[in-house]
Chain A
Amino acid sequence: MNKAADILVIDDEQVIIDAVIKICALEDYTVDSAINTKTGLEKISKNFYPVIISDIMMPDGDGFQILDAINKSKKDSVVIMTTGFSTVENAVNSLYRGALSFIPKPFTVDELLSVLFRAKNYIKIMKEEKSFSPQQRDKELIYVTCPAKYLRLGHSTWMFQEREGSVLIGICDIYMKAIESVNNIEMMQLEDELIQGTGCASLTSNDERIHKILSPLSGRIVEVNNNVINNPSLLEKDPYFEGWLYRIIPANLDYEIKYLIPCSSDRL
């Protein structure tokens, strides 16, 4: 299969396609486009695109079809979902079905570039991991998968149910690896309400990119990990234990847990 372009953008609005092309040109990505689901699926089956940016609501189908098609064909494309109908459900559903990220419309240049940057690194990490032999993998970890009892939202955040009914929330290591570095973290306050699939913190990397963290669960914050604020590098060093973000009282655990992926499934 030939590599036609770095990115395929599927959107029913020409303006958005044009905008994405312009933005991508800033970082020297090559972009192919499709104006509807049908041509998008055709292009995917013919060519390989490392990154696919797809709208969710289109006249002839939705972006989830694209996601499913990619999952089926076992292609290693990274999918970024976007929609003007940016409901929590759409965001969570996208991540659950394997999308790397979800960008609500309208987005700024920086927001898109941050996600693309993460996608690029993600692909790199995956490639690297594949190239390793099993022996090498044991010796040297490229990224740490999350502990077995944890559940994760896509590849971005994790949650761990504590015995007292509270839940710890943190960022997955692969996410941290994909953004390369962290300089500053902006967090929410005690007593604030989190909503699953919406932003709960934002990281600023050394190159000034801002990365939004999506909360894996809804609930009320009962404790904020101040160590992380004082020392953001903790997130990189120990993302699953010392580097937790919030302790929350979940609001709707039974329902929301359906959209989370058990980390135990990663260790096959």
Chain B
Amino acid sequence: MFKKIGFRLIFAVAFTSLVIIGVFAFFNVQTQSNNLTAEVERHANQLSETVVSSTRVDMMLNQRDRIQQIISSIGAQPHIRDVRILNKIGEIIYSSDQNSINQMVDKNAESCYACHAEDKPLEQISITERTRIFKLNPDSARIIGIITPIYNETSCWTAECHAHPSDQKVLGVLDISISLAEVDKEILRSKIEIVIFAFAAVVIVGLIIGLFVKKWVSNPVNDLLSATQQISAGNLNYAIKEIGSDEIGKLASSFNNMTKKLAEARLQLFQSDKMASLGRLAAGVAHEINNPLTGVLTYSSFLLKRTKDNPEFQEDLKVIVRETIRSREIVKSLLDFARQSVPKKNPADLNDVIDKAITVVENQLSIKKIKVEKKFEAEIPKITIDSNQMEQVFINLFVNAADAMEKTGGIITVATHLISLAPFGTTQIKKAACRKRHNLIDNEFKIDGLPAIKVKVVSDSNEGIIHIDPVYGKHYNNYDVGFKINKNAKFVCPECSVSLVQEDKVCPKCGSPVLVFDLGPEGIYEVCSSENSDWEKWDYIESAGVQEYVEIKVSDTGCGISNEDLHKIFDPFFSTKGQKGNGLGLAVIWGIVDNHNGTITVDSEIGKGTTF
């Protein structure tokens, strides 16, 4: 439990607050106690003065009984332990305690010490020096004693009794002792209060800290922890859902980002791994299938030669020969696909290719009561494709569609049309030079596998090389130079130090200087020098306009593909057809389309159909 970060934090905070409250309380209690004692002292002093002045008249008249009476009645008050009047030589003359009358008090005893410290009586002494606090025994309450000297006055020696000589300065002292039990109780109470307060504060602070730690630290950390466990268990699709904006939030979002990248990398790895095994399989299959195919092809073409005068056979044999040659091309393309080789491209009309594919599967489809609906755009330009491979793509798609509609029958819709896509995000800068025609393409530093554009940056006394993403529309620039690039930094060619900044121009988005590169015949490429801006301009590409692609949609009204299966369908050997399929069809399609610089996507809804 103590290993938990929350507990450690709570402990640290609680300990700190305990220390602070403790120190504060100590000084507070101290002051309070001093104040209380001082108050009692003042009170006692006042009382002494009162006693002295109230007994003064009686003393003049030498009415000793009355003095004793006053002393006794004062001494009977609670808190007042005793009241005594001592004469010059220390004899107790009056006392609230009758028994102590006429007893001598040792001049060295504590009550006298203040005045007689140096064996000579001091006439004027301050209140603090007249006060003493003592305990009769260790268990009893504290007692405060105060001595008030009774000074000789003219009236004392002129009085009738003439008890005192005129040269005497101090006639005696009044000694009052007051119990501090009440004060001590008060102090103890505040001590207890403070301790209770301190503990309460610590507990409350602990709870509050605990609450926030749980909300801000423990919960997100636990989320992260369970995410890492999920990842390590292989679930790379796991993402942390609640992401704050603090450091842990950033950690979580970068963690999510990492898993996403990881998942993508794994997918790629999977794909290439599958391709590799497909390659091995294809190599084996090629050899094994090509031998029997040789038998079929040689015998059928042999027959074709020998039955030249029999047109009835000729037609059928031609089909056999043609289809066997197609099989040969398929096996070859399987090998080619496995080796990712370049397709044999020729300009062809895609509509014709699709028509040919439809003729191949037409019989099969009509048996299954499936109609093919064509929605061709007439104006499709000829595109450079391997018509054999593309035909294969469509045959495979049609067969799949037919299988999906096996029981019910339905309609396959094939639509072609021309679409335009912007070159943004796809065009790679392959050449870039400074004004003095130094090549700036850095073959040693690649961003996403493509050689990046290098730029030397000089900022104050630092200099380093930054790399610009060579793909137009993509900004994985690398500004990692180990120092901060300030506003006045210069961007120059690493070879000749000629400035790469476009004069009289700033980035329209952020106002930073604009870097310019000479791309030779492809014009100039401008990009904002700021790391955080994504502004860039390449007139050559922009003016070339959007690129045209042919989009072909093959839709069916079949059973659809479930969501779990959807991302697996292009995997080699993934099949939902059981024994009927080998799971290679869509994988081969994927490879062919990829080789034609195309993309293939799928959209499907269970029960309604699928569109490629």
Chain A interface residues (CB < 8 Å from chain B) = 13, 15-16, 19-20, 22-23, 26, 57, 83-87, 104-110, 112, 189, 191-193, 195
Whether the pair B346, A87 counts as a contact (CB closer than 8 A) is no
Minimum Cβ distance to chain A for residue B342 (Å)? 4
Give the chain A neighbours of B299 by CB distance below 8 A: 19, 22
Q: Closest residue to B299 on the A side, CB-wise?
A: A19
Q: Closest residue to A14 on the B side, CB-wise?
A: B295
Give the chain B neighbours of A20 by CB distance below 8 A: 298
**Assuming A108-B325, A109-B305, A189-B347, is B286 touching A85 (CB within 8 A)?**
yes
Whether the pair B283, A85 counts as a contact (CB closer than 8 A) is yes
Whether the pair B298, A109 counts as a contact (CB closer than 8 A) is yes
A-B contact pairs, 16 of them (CB 8 A): A15-B292, A83-B290, A84-B287, A84-B289, A84-B291, A86-B290, A105-B291, A105-B294, A106-B294, A106-B324, A108-B321, A109-B304, A112-B298, A189-B345, A192-B344, A195-B341
Considering the complex of A and B, which 3 residue pairs feature the smallest CB-CB distances, nearest first?
Answer: A84-B290, A19-B298, A106-B294
Question: A47 CA to B505 CA in the complex, in Å?
Answer: 85
Given contacts A84-B294, A87-B335, 9 further A-B contacts (CB under 8 A): A26-B302, A83-B287, A84-B291, A85-B290, A86-B332, A86-B335, A106-B296, A189-B347, A195-B342
Give the chain A neighbours of B321 by CB distance below 8 A: 108
Minimum Cβ distance to chain A for residue B77 (Å)? 119
Give the chain A neighbours of B342 by CB distance below 8 A: 193, 195
Q: Is B217 an interface residue (CB 8 A)?
A: no
Minimum Cβ distance to chain A for residue B373 (Å)? 34
**Assuming A19-B299, A20-B298, is B325 touching A105 (CB within 8 A)?**
no
Find residues 255-301 in chain B having any chain A CB closer than 8 Å to their own CB: 283, 286-299, 301
Question: A212 CA to B222 CA in the complex, in Å?
Answer: 68
Question: A191 CA to B344 CA in the complex, in Å?
Answer: 11
Q: Closest residue to B346 on the A side, CB-wise?
A: A189
Q: Is B328 an interface residue (CB 8 A)?
A: yes
**Assuming A15-B292, A87-B335, A193-B342, is B286 touching A108 (CB within 8 A)?**
no
Give the chain B neighbours of A16 by CB distance below 8 A: 291, 294-295, 298
Minimum Cβ distance to chain A for residue B264 (Å)? 29
A84's contact among B286, B301, B325, B344, by CB below 8 Å, is which?
A: B286
Q: Which of A26, A104, A105 counts the most chain B CB atoms within 10 A?
A: A105
Write the B326-361 contact mask toward A (1 if CB under 8 angstroms, else 0). Answer: 001000100100000110111100000000000000
Question: A192 CA to B384 CA in the complex, in Å?
Answer: 10
Give the chain A neighbours of B294 by CB distance below 8 A: 13, 15-16, 19, 84, 105-107
Give the chain A neighbours of B293 by CB distance below 8 A: 105-106
Minimum Cβ distance to chain B for residue A94 (Å)? 16
Give the chain B neighbours of A110 by CB distance below 8 A: 301
Question: A192 CA to B347 CA in the complex, in Å?
Answer: 11
Give the chain A neighbours of B305 by CB distance below 8 A: 26, 109
Question: A16 CA to B292 CA in the complex, in Å?
Answer: 8
Give the chain B neighbours of A86 by CB distance below 8 A: 286, 290, 332, 335
Minimum Cβ distance to chain A for residue B190 (Å)? 94
Question: A107 CA to B293 CA in the complex, in Å?
Answer: 9
Minimum Cβ distance to chain B for residue A91 (Å)? 12
Question: A13 CA to B297 CA in the complex, in Å?
Answer: 14
Whether the pair B301, A109 counts as a contact (CB closer than 8 A) is yes
**Assuming A13-B294, A16-B291, A106-B294, is B283 touching A22 (CB within 8 A)?**
no
Question: A13 CA to B341 CA in the complex, in Å?
Answer: 29
Q: Closest residue to A25 on the B side, CB-wise?
A: B302
**Assuming A26-B305, A192-B345, is B288 touching A84 (CB within 8 A)?**
yes
Minimum Cβ distance to chain A for residue B518 (Å)? 23
Give the chain B neighbours of A13 by CB distance below 8 A: 291, 294-295
Question: A15 CA to B286 CA in the complex, in Å?
Answer: 17
Whether the pair B287, A23 counts as a contact (CB closer than 8 A) is no
Question: A23 CA to B302 CA in the complex, in Å?
Answer: 7
Give the chain B neighbours of A189 by CB distance below 8 A: 345-347, 384
**Assuming A86-B290, A189-B346, is B302 touching A106 (CB within 8 A)?**
no
Q: Closest residue to B342 on the A side, CB-wise?
A: A193
Minimum Cβ distance to chain B for residue A153 (Å)? 18
Question: A106 CA to B288 CA in the complex, in Å?
Answer: 11
Question: A16 CA to B302 CA in the complex, in Å?
Answer: 12
**Assuming A15-B295, A106-B328, is B302 touching A22 (CB within 8 A)?**
yes
